[in-house]
Chains A and B, each alone.
Chain A
Amino acid sequence: MAVQPTSVTDVSDGLRGVGYLPGESTALVSYLATKLGKPVLVEGPAGVGKTELAKALSRYLDRTLVRLQCYEGLDEAKALYEWNYRKQLLRIQAEERGAGWEAVQEDIFSEDFLLARPLMTAISAPDPVVLLIDEIDKTDQEFEAMLLELLSEFQISIPELGRIEARTQPVVVLTSNNSRELTEALKRRCLYLWLDYPETEHELAIVRLHAPELSATVGRKLVELIQQVRALDLKKPPSIAESIDWARALLLLGAEDIDADVFRETMSIIVKHRTDLDTVAERVGVKLSDVSAPL
């Protein structure tokens, strides 16, 4: 039986229960999404848990996750539906002579010959699902326009068949890395959630959740370092995913403390650009060795 949250705290606790620590606004917007049946547009830097939110929601609400990964050149045939051309052809071939064109035409444009793609699957599913449209900013504006009908009415128009309406109301999560401005029309139909890098305490909690064996002192130091690194002007600041990776790497290495040496060796986990590496080594690594020297 699908879960129906009744308050913001419900959602917050529920998401916690499935291993996702939501911020205040995240919980509230997720709650509104389930209540109002509006899609949620999640924006923010890479690696702050936008996609993870959709996955956590599907786990918490006990719904199947239908995922549509967007990319440049994605079109209706891959996102919505496609006619099963081969099957149609075989059907025509198998037709007895004498059967009228009318009858055949009626036949081959029916749901049997339809290949459902993610969006179609999501709205025609018998049980409500969570639909994740990932990295919507990677598609073209034309594709966005095509989504509008789906997002506001939860229906799809197929010229040969007519309108297919959603049997159940899916929870829709759209994520965007903000690599281009989305159209007003799309934004208007969505609730907006901006996910940013979390506060120190929040991030510490997230790291501890994913790497529970990590000692408290190392964990705190790790998060503080990450925050320091983020404060620098980097091409690609480390994300939450990277702090978790780092924590796991430290566990594997059995590091007791993060000193200048450990930092230098493992730095490449959190910083991914050559120029960034230099900056970080210079600004943060040096500070570390200063602190550890007199001890």
Chain B
Amino acid sequence: MSAPPSDAGGLPARLLGFAEELREEGVAIGTSELLDAFEALGEVPWTEREDVREALAATLAKSQEDRRVFELVFDRFFFRSAEAEALHREVREDGGVGGEEGADAAAAEIDLEALRARIAQALRDGAEGPMRDLARLAIAAFGRQGEGSGVIGVDVQRIRRALGLRSEPQPELPADDPRREGLPRDALRAFEAHLRRELERALIERTQRLPPARPLNELDRALPSGPLQDLAAVHRIVAQLKRRLATQGHEARGRKRRAHVDVRRTMRASLQTGGVPLVLKFRPRRPRRPEIYVLCDVSTSVTSASVFFLSVLHALHDTFRKLRSFVFIERVSEVTEIFERERNFKAVSEAIGRDAGVADVSGYTDYGRVWEEFLALVEDDLHPRATVIVLGDARTNGRDPRADVFAAVTEKAGRTFWLNPEPRLYWNYGDSVIAAYEHYCQAFECWTTGQLEDFVKALTRPGIPSP
């Protein structure tokens, strides 16, 4: 038997192709990972799909996010390879879906009502095996009704709706209907995946060619997360920020392997041993205790970002003890106390919305006034070891930015950072005057946790003026 040309290179070529697809989806795979993958594959039985998948995952996907992308790409890649091979060898399934005689005959035996009940039962039980067969039957039955749109995603939803499969309870149904209590969401999703796959297979059989590979969309790839998990992510990154601020400078100097010997104390201790310094005394290492001032814009122009900012503030308060926070719109007001009193994020944001006492006449930010007031408030407390972080969009509504006062603030403080919730593209357009402030501080684009992490990383990069 002659090997088909698509087999050229065999498994290694396939694996390389697979790695290439992973790379396109943004998973960083180096040569060493590939070598590991080959080595690992040598140790597992290659006929076991699960083992092969796990072995590849362990060597190629090195984080939870990567792992998720890996699962999606693995399914897509090997499904497509199998289909390509089938096309190449002109293998066709008997009774496959797609309007063939066999499928019609099979579907004719079973009416839609019975099919509904059986699918619902299978979903309820979470039985993977029958699900695939039922998916094919459903497609065939649905195909006869002639409602296919030709777009796979639309068809999947139409079939699901036609079958009345929902995750919410449907109390109007009879008591013995498994759909009455609502179907498990996971099973429903699995069934949809089966439908999608079978429809794709049918399409490939019909057209005799593979559709172009779609890149994964953001929705698929993102980990399922709620707003509270975002809050947790912010907390994690801020904890990292703390470490960065505390150990800053070590990178430039190089970490000392040991502390300095305290000669005085060592000599004193050596008196006990007849002048031989047997016990070394070291100077204690004093960690930097950063003092942080955070100014957070809560005006309407940053409404969408202010929840994010407040959660950053909240997280900062959890990690740093010496932290004073201020919110501002037209004028500035200190909210340190609220954050210290309330541990719950929801309560904090409510309290700030209610009685933070932000003197807000027009609802428009007045940066010039804010700087003046801020300087007056903290002028005596600011010192070179303090860090000022401003969270705001630098939109002055046409008022005087008073960059000179801001400069005075930055001069007093050791370091100043500006986190801007707008994409860099919009900076300095309209009434944004971030450029005027950027002279005096480091400005960062920051509206996702990812960018917050970038900010934390940037803190360690050389080039930032050390205190």
Contact = CB atoms under 8 A, between A and B. Distances in A.
A190 B40 CA distance: 12
Given A32-B55, A193-B58, A77 B258 contact: yes
A274 B50 CA distance: 42
Contact of B44 (A28, A93, A233): A28
B226 interface: yes
Nearest to A35: B43
Interface string A37-49: 0100101000000
Contacts of A190: 62
B378 interface: no
> What class of interface size applies to chain B in its complex with A?
35 or more
A28 B30 CA distance: 22
A192 interface: yes
Nearest to A275: B344
A193 B279 CA distance: 45
Interface stretch (B235-243, B297-305, B328-336, B410-418): B235-243
B280 A32 contact: no
Contacts of A38: 36
A190 B343 CA distance: 39
Interface in A61-86: 72, 75-77, 85-86
Interface in B242-300: 243, 247, 255, 257-258, 276-280
B243 A25 contact: no
A187 B57 contact: no
A75 B257 contact: yes
B154 interface: no
A235 interface: yes
A194 B64 contact: yes
Contact of A187 (B63, B247, B279): B63
Interface in B340-364: 343-344
B226 A191 contact: no
A142 B59 contact: no
A163 interface: no
B62 A93 contact: no
Nearest to A28: B54
B3 interface: no
A192 B54 contact: no
Interface of A: 8, 24-25, 28-29, 31-32, 35-36, 38, 41, 43, 72, 75-77, 85-86, 89, 93, 140, 142, 178-181, 184, 187-194, 233, 235, 274-275
Closest 3 CB pairs of A and B: A233-B228, A187-B62, A191-B58
Contacts of B343: 274-275
Contacts of B278: 86, 89
B458 interface: no
B25 interface: no
Contacts of A275: 343-344
A86 B32 CA distance: 44
A179 B36 contact: no
Contact of A28 (B58, B239, B453): B58
A29 B58 contact: yes
B33 interface: yes
Contacts of A41: 62
The residue among A32, A41, A189, A274 with the most chain B CB atoms within 10 A of its own CB is A32
Nearest to A187: B62
B163 to A, nearest CB: 26
Most chain A beta-carbon neighbours within 10 Å: one of B51, B58, B247: B58
Contacts of B277: 89
B217 interface: no
20 contacts: A8-B51, A25-B58, A29-B54, A32-B58, A36-B39, A72-B243, A75-B257, A178-B64, A178-B236, A180-B240, A180-B243, A188-B62, A189-B32, A190-B62, A192-B59, A192-B62, A194-B67, A233-B228, A275-B343, A275-B344
Contacts of B67: 192, 194
A228 B252 CA distance: 49
B28 interface: yes
